[in-house]
Amino acid sequence: MGLQNNKSLGQHWLKDRAILDEIADEALCDVDLCIEIGPGLGTLTSSLLKRFKKVLAVEFDAKLAGNLPKSFPGKNLEVKNEDFLKFNLDDISEKYAVAGNIPYYITSPIIFRLLEAKNKPEKIALLIQKEVAERILEGPGRHTYLSLAVQNYAEVEPGIVVPKNYFTPPPKVDSATIILIPRKKPLVGDEVLRFAKQGFSNPRKKLIKNLPYDKEKLEAIFHKLMLDPNVRPSDLNHQDWQELLDNILKTV
């Protein structure tokens, strides 16, 4: 009996070797170890084993343990049949990269688990929903809270687009890789991100209407910072949020 995929847990298998090799290439950097999230049947694992000296494969959900064939080749492969979100990255004592075909429903938790770890990876290449990849790549004028938060912790680059018909079974949407290079130091502190999240409480509204402070004082601060009073949360960059918060804390 063949292995059955579990669509409820986000299993859509990708078997095109050229695409798998390209994803593995996107994860390449000057490290020996690659952590693969969600090895599935080992299709991406095969490509990673040709490019890294060691591969540590960790399931994205412990319920999927055992998909990787026991006879899978490669003495430099270690498999952890546990939930990646509970896996302790601080146990990794060497520099490492990360690659994986990530289910849509846990994309953000996995990304922030990696970017907020004490022992951050050197490089991350993840195959995710194309629409989410595009949102992460947005800049000032089109920022979402997701793009602002991810870019706070990492430089982001677009990768390849993978149409849905390359998967078995096909998902409802196309996928794309996102390449992340974690920053040594975030652009702004967590208090600024919390403030920005408040500002994005209603992204379509003017920012000034999303902030629970005296409007006259806010207008004076906006004028001081040369911010248009009609500006929306999507228009601000990290430095804008930092300066706005600093001035609010001094004034309001």
Could you confirm whether domain 7-182 is CATH 3.40.50.150?
yes
* 208 in Cβ contact with 201 (< 8 Å): no
pLDDT of 249: 95
Segment 23-78, tens digit of pLDDT: 999 999 999 999 999 988 889 999 999 999 999 999 877 666 656 666 566 679 99
Bigger pLDDT: 252 or 82? Answer: 82
Domain residue extents for the chain: 7-182, 190-251
pLDDT of 100: 96
Q: What is the mean pLDDT of residues 81-99?
A: 93
What is the average pLDDT score of the chain? 91
pLDDT of 60: 79
Which candidate, 28, 98, 107, places its Cα nearest to that of 57?
A: 98
CATH class name, domain 190-251: mainly alpha
pTM of the model: 0.91
For residues 213 and 103, what is the distance between their CA atoms, to the nearest angstrom?
39
pLDDT at residue 209 is higher than 80: yes
For residues 97 and 105, what is the distance between their CA atoms, to the nearest angstrom?
22
**Read out DSSP for the chain?**
-PPPP-GGGT--EE--HHHHHHHHHHH--S-SEEEEE--TTSHHHHHHHTT-SEEEEE-SSGGGTT-S-TT---TTEEEE-S-GGGS-GGG--S-EEEEEE--GGGHHHHHHHHHT-SS--SEEEEEEEHHHHHHHT--TTT--HHHHHHHHHEEEEEEEEE-GGGEES--SS-EEEEEEEE-SS-SS-HHHHHHHHHHTSSTTS-HHHHS-S-HHHHHHHHHHTT--TT--GGG--HHHHHHHHHHHHHH-
pLDDT of 146: 97
* 128 in Cβ contact with 176 (< 8 Å): yes
For residues 223 and 15, what is the distance between their CA atoms, to the nearest angstrom?
55
Confidence band of 252 (pLDDT split at 50, 70, 90): confident
For residues 20 and 43, what is the distance between their CA atoms, to the nearest angstrom?
7
For residues 211 and 223, what is the distance between their CA atoms, to the nearest angstrom?
16
CA 175 to chain centroid: 14
